[in-house]
Amino acid sequence: MAKQSSVFPGVDAAASDLLAACGQLVRRLRAESNNQELSWSQMAVLIRLEEGGPSSIADMARAELVKPQSMGVTLSVLEEEGLVERRPHPTDGRQFLFALTAAGVEARRRVRAAKRTWLAGAVATLTDDEQRDLLVAAAVIRRLADSTSRDPA
């Protein structure tokens, strides 16, 4: 059974409030940083290629839980924009790997910088006590994110 904290009226209420707050923050960060007007799926592909390196359409489609045809459309748009490029597959001549171009790397850098700049500015408006509370909360949220428990009950 999940622990009930005396600070909150209930774990479910705390979870709902946290979900709402995190969702609002993520939406605001997206709005502040997406000056290139990339779709969420296009940004997800750029992130995946940046973090995981070159990848095939099939591998990216599996990782993003979409059909290969949908991933192909997303990659085609990114390729037209010059953010990704096709490379020959090292062992399978029938396939291509997609990788970030220098423009794709720069787009990711700009998005990260815009998020960081906006968030730093917003944090600067908080009181010293609120900033300390935020640092503590960030550590707790990180611990929650790293939790291996699927069902806390």
- The answer, yes or no, to whether residue 1 has pLDDT greater than 50, is no
pLDDT tens figures, 125-137: 999 999 999 999 9
- Residue 41, pLDDT score: 87
In percent, how much of the chain has pLDDT > 90?
58
**Is residue 97 within a helix (H) or strand (E), and if so which, with residue range?**
strand 96-100
- Residue 9, pLDDT score: 66
- Contact criterion met (CB below 8 Å) for 70 and 60: no
CATH number for the domain formed by residue range(s) 11-146: 1.10.10.10
User: Measuring CA to CA, which residue among 124, 102, 106, 103 is closest to residue 114?
Assistant: 106
Domain-by-domain residue ranges, the chain? 11-146
pLDDT tens figures, 79-136: 999 999 999 988 888 889 999 999 999 998 988 898 899 999 999 999 999 999 999 9
